[in-house]
Amino acid sequence: MTKKPFKAESKKLLEMMINSIYTQKEIFLRELISNASDAIDKLYYKTLTDDKLVFNKDDFYIKVSPDKTNRILTISDTGIGMTKEELENNLGVIAQSGSLAFKMENELQDGHNIIGQFGVGFYSAFMVADEVAVITKALGSDEAFKWESKGADGYTIEPYEKDEVGTDIILKIKDNTEDEQYDEYLDEYRLKAIIKKYSDFIRYPIKMEITGQRPKEDSDNEFEEYAEEQTINSMVPIWRKNKNELTDEDYANFYAEKHYGFDKPIKHIHISADGAVSYHAILFIPENTPFDYYTKEYEKGLELYSNGVLIMDKCAELLPDFFSFVKGMVDSDDLSLNISREMLQHDRQLHLIAKNIKNKIKSQLQSLLKNDREQYEKFFQSFSRQLKYGVYSDYGANKEVLQDLLLFYSSKEKKLVTLDEYVSRMPEDQKYIYYAAGESIDRIEKLPQTEIVSDKGYEILYFTDDIDEFAIKMIMNYQEKEFKSVSSGDLGIEADNDETATNEEDSHKELFDYMKDILKDKVKSVKASKRLKTHPVCLSTEGELTIEMEKILKAMPNSQDVKADKVLEINIHHEVFQSLKDAYEKDKEKLNLYTNLLYNQALLIEGLPINDPVEFTNDICKVMV
Ligand code: ADP
Ligand code: MG
């Protein structure tokens, strides 16, 4: 019989996995039992929706049978089975998804991370077995097949004899090595413990023959061994259990079992609602951003169960986009089994559940923020962009839900603060919530525009994310305080020498108008600055669009030519200003040179490109000679 090779990506994946992805080999059993349970689910679902199929409750079970003598461990199920084609497609290649293959090619070095984000369920058998055989008969089929493989070099499929529909997974357990006692996976008590730990909530009985000892009849001191079939798991799904009975570890195991992620969730939310709509849900806030989270490929959604039967893998309607990072499941008795995707969108019960869930997630995040700031910041690091995007999209429809979940770096506190914390610290005379936008905290700290606000003793929020300023424009005001960029025209700060500044401005009007003519429509006006203290020059803006926003909009694909209305501000108390005045009186060519230099300097400070760098450097040389 010819051996078929695994598809290329399977082979690499298999090797990598065998060598290290899972640190705990014992989870192979969790994976195989979970597949068995899925297979029974599929059959069970069919019996509920097809009257011609008659099954008994007792017909559904999983059996784990160790054979120590021959080093064989068998996991059997009475599930839906696989046809020959399904064997080929499901076990011959791990993930047909092009994106996995692509990622693997490119990031093989970093393989752990990538693979960590996919389930590689069935293949984990090779962590403990040299040889794996799958004997299976599909529902409605007369033939059965045997799939066999010794690992990375390929597999064979041949016709086989099997009476009942279902699947047997037969593992030839590896020999012990110096580091690894594979024998333990043949030991009843060890197997029992692994099943209890990871698969207790599986809805179908997981049976095993357990050997016990009992006194021999007619004897006081002689014992005999006997075997008895036991059901190892409690079969109560974890989400239907009482929260008080469950430990953090139980939830963490459930998260891993379900492949929601390979990280440790930051928080779990267990809901048992019994009101207008009754449902159970277990939700998780992951710790890490999935690698594809901010791409089109990422699919949000929760698993949806109806009365304990899985009806949908990723029900998107259950999660708002701004909470798309949440993983988990919902089980409700109020939903129909036969519900289709189209029907779901109009299902009133489902909408109620979704609304409920949204509120719950919000309140749980808020309590995390309040009670465990460190964990919250970890979460925020991973998913803040999504929250801010949520504030911005739909014309700010969700800002009320989200604004109190935002954090920004504070100039004063030197750490992340909430808007509420900011406002509660505002001195009475402070009118606005000030912010400064820029590439990094370092760069913002050096912006001349922050000087007067800081000197006044006011706190400034630093915006380093592209989306920050856009999100804030959507919020508009928080607790009746308006947001104000430190670069905006009117800062609402009364300078101590305001009076004189205005007078002086008037007296220099001619000079400033002249400079404006030199710069043409590069700026809207040139004026005496009320905000600069030590720096000679800066740019500010009039109107809604700030310079940071201009930069971001310009960087977007098919951007339009948007421009912030810029004002060149001159510090008239700086020595440079004297030179400007002198030049205005005596040497217009020099004034021309100075004006262009100052304008370009202001651009550089803002992190904007200057139009003609060669001309700029030549201009500097002209000043030097
Ligand atoms: P996943 O469970 O995430 O789909 P696995 O590698 O665990 O990935 O399994 C691959 C596929 O093989 C399953 O989706 C299923 O179609 C099939 N399969 C595995 N085990 C069984 C089984 N015991 N009975 C029927 N089908 C199975
Ligand atoms: Mg699986």
- For ligand 1, whether the C-beta of 90 sits within 6 Å is yes
Going by CA atoms, what residue is nearest to atom 12 of ligand 1?
Answer: 90
Backbone dihedral angles phi then psi of residue 157, each to the nearest 5 degrees:
-130, 130
Going by CA atoms, what residue is nearest to atom 11 of ligand 1?
Answer: 90
Chain CA centroid to CA 555, Å: 25
The superfamily (CATH) of domain 496-624 is Heat shock protein 90, C-terminal domain (1.20.120.790)
Topology of domain 238-371, CATH: Ribosomal Protein S5; domain 2 (3.30.230)
Topology of domain 378-485, CATH: Rossmann fold (3.40.50)
Report the separation in Å between the CA atom of 89 and the middle of ligand 1, taken as the mean of its atom positions. 10
Going by CA atoms, what residue is nearest to atom 16 of ligand 1?
Answer: 90
- How many CB atoms are located within 10 Å of the residue 395 CB? 8
Q: Is residue 144 within 8 Å of residue 136, measured between CB atoms? A: yes
pLDDT of residue 400: 93
Q: Using CA of residue 274, residue 277, residue 280, residue 285, what is the dihedral sign? A: negative
Backbone dihedral angles phi then psi of residue 28, each to the nearest 5 degrees:
-55, -35
pLDDT of residue 276: 85
pLDDT of residue 102: 42
- For ligand 1, whether the C-beta of 436 sits within 6 Å is no
Report the separation in Å between the CA atom of 606 and the middle of ligand 1, taken as the mean of its atom positions. 56
CATH number for the domain running over 8-231: 3.30.565.10
> Which pLDDT tens digit goes with each residue over 209-253?
998 888 888 877 888 889 999 999 989 899 999 999 999 999 999
Q: Report the Cα–Cα distance between both ends of the chain, in Å, rounded.
A: 88
Q: Could you tell me what percent of the chain has a pLDDT over 70?
A: 90
**486, exposed or middle or buried, with CB in 10 Å at 0-12, 13-18, 19+?**
buried
- For ligand 1, whether the C-beta of 36 sits within 6 Å is yes
Q: If you average pLDDT over each of 301-315, 416-430, 610-624, which comes out highest?
A: 416-430
Work out the pLDDT band at 30, boundaries 50, 70, 90.
Answer: confident
- For ligand 1, whether the C-beta of 205 sits within 6 Å is no
| 35 CA closest ligand 1 atom index | 20
d(CA 431, CA 98): 54
**206, exposed or middle or buried, with CB in 10 Å at 0-12, 13-18, 19+?**
buried
Average pLDDT over residues 295-313: 86
- DSSP sequence for 287-310: SS--TTTTSTT----EEEEETTEE
- For ligand 1, whether the C-beta of 40 sits within 6 Å is no
Residues whose CB falls within 8 Å of the CB of residue 273, separated by 6 or more in sequence, listed in order:
279, 280, 281, 353, 356
Going by CA atoms, what residue is nearest to atom 21 of ligand 1?
Answer: 35
Mean predicted lDDT score pLDDT of the chain: 88
Average pLDDT over residues 595-608: 92
**432, exposed or middle or buried, with CB in 10 Å at 0-12, 13-18, 19+?**
buried
d(CA 195, CA 180): 20
pLDDT of residue 62: 98
Helix (H) or strand (E) holding 151: none
Query: Which of 45, 122, 170 has most ligand 1 atoms within 8 Å of CB, for mutation?
Result: 122
Do β-strands 144-149 and 223-231 pair in parallel, antiparallel, or remain unpaired? unpaired
Report the separation in Å between the CA atom of 9 and the middle of ligand 1, taken as the mean of its atom positions. 17
d(CA 514, CA 464): 36
**DSSP letter (8 states) at residue 18:** I
Report the separation in Å between the CA atom of 528 and the middle of ligand 2, taken as the mean of its atom positions. 69
Going by CA atoms, what residue is nearest to atom 3 of ligand 1?
Answer: 119
| 123 CA closest ligand 1 atom index | 6
Q: Is the pLDDT of residue 386 over 60?
A: yes
Residues with CB under 5 A from ligand 2 (ion): 35, 121
Query: Which of 90, 124, 146 has most ligand 1 atoms within 8 Å of CB, for mutation?
Result: 90
> Which pLDDT tens digit goes with each residue over 563-599?
889 999 999 999 999 999 999 999 999 999 999 999 9
Helix (H) or strand (E) holding 315: strand 309-315
Going by CA atoms, what residue is nearest to atom 19 of ligand 1?
Answer: 35
Give the residue from 527, 422, 563 showing the smallest Cα distance to 435: 422
Report the separation in Å between the CA atom of 120 and the middle of ligand 2, taken as the mean of its atom positions. 7
Give the residue from 343, 409, 185, 366 showing the smallest Cα distance to 267: 366
> Domain residues of the chain, as ranges?
8-231, 238-371, 378-485, 496-624
Average pLDDT over residues 270-282: 93
Work out the pLDDT band at 311, boundaries 50, 70, 90.
Answer: confident
> Which pLDDT tens digit goes with each residue over 490-548?
888 865 555 555 556 667 899 999 999 999 999 999 999 988 888 999 999 988 888 88
Give the residue from 405, 210, 232 showing the smallest Cα distance to 320: 405
76 strand-pairing partners:
63, 168
Work out the pLDDT band at 325, boundaries 50, 70, 90.
Answer: very high
Per the structure block, which two tokens stand in for 300?
Answer: 């949000």
Going by CA atoms, what residue is nearest to atom 14 of ligand 1?
Answer: 90
Report the separation in Å between the CA atom of 39 and the middle of ligand 1, taken as the mean of its atom positions. 8
**357, exposed or middle or buried, with CB in 10 Å at 0-12, 13-18, 19+?**
buried
Q: Is residue 546 within 8 Å of residue 564, measured between CB atoms? A: yes
- For ligand 1, whether the C-beta of 201 sits within 6 Å is no
Report the separation in Å between the CA atom of 308 and the middle of ligand 1, taken as the mean of its atom positions. 20
Q: Is residue 73 within 8 Å of residue 64, measured between CB atoms? A: yes
- For ligand 1, whether the C-beta of 167 sits within 6 Å is yes
| 120 CA closest ligand 1 atom index | 6
| 31 CA closest ligand 1 atom index | 7
pLDDT of residue 271: 97
Per the structure block, which two tokens stand in for 117?
Answer: 């984000």
**576, exposed or middle or buried, with CB in 10 Å at 0-12, 13-18, 19+?**
middle
- For ligand 1, whether the C-beta of 124 sits within 6 Å is no
What is the amino acid identity at position 121?
A: G
> Which pLDDT tens digit goes with each residue over 186-221?
999 999 999 988 888 888 999 999 988 888 888 778
- For ligand 1, whether the C-beta of 31 sits within 6 Å is yes
Report the separation in Å between the CA atom of 303 and the middle of ligand 2, taken as the mean of its atom positions. 15
Report the separation in Å between the CA atom of 32 and the middle of ligand 1, taken as the mean of its atom positions. 8
| 119 CA closest ligand 1 atom index | 3
Report the separation in Å between the CA atom of 446 and the middle of ligand 1, taken as the mean of its atom positions. 57
Per the structure block, which two tokens stand in for 102?
Answer: 């692509």
Q: How many helices (H) and strands (E) does the chain have?
A: 21, 22
pLDDT of residue 340: 67
Please tell me the number of Cα atoms within 13 Å of 258 on its side-chain side: 26
- For ligand 1, whether the C-beta of 290 sits within 6 Å is no
What's the CA dihedral at 112, 114, 119, 122 to 10 degrees? -60
* Nearest ligand to the C-alpha atom of residue 167: 1
> Which pLDDT tens digit goes with each residue over 458-498?
999 999 998 999 999 999 999 999 999 998 878 888 655 55
- State pTM to two decimals: 0.75
Report the separation in Å between the CA atom of 14 and the middle of ligand 1, taken as the mean of its atom positions. 15
Report the separation in Å between the CA atom of 90 and the middle of ligand 1, taken as the mean of its atom positions. 6
Report the separation in Å between the CA atom of 185 and the middle of ligand 2, taken as the mean of its atom positions. 19
Report the separation in Å between the CA atom of 98 and the middle of ligand 2, taken as the mean of its atom positions. 19
- For ligand 1, whether the C-beta of 60 sits within 6 Å is no
Backbone conformation region of residue 543, classed left if phi is above 0, alpha if psi is from -120 to 50, else beta: left
Average pLDDT over residues 55-73: 94
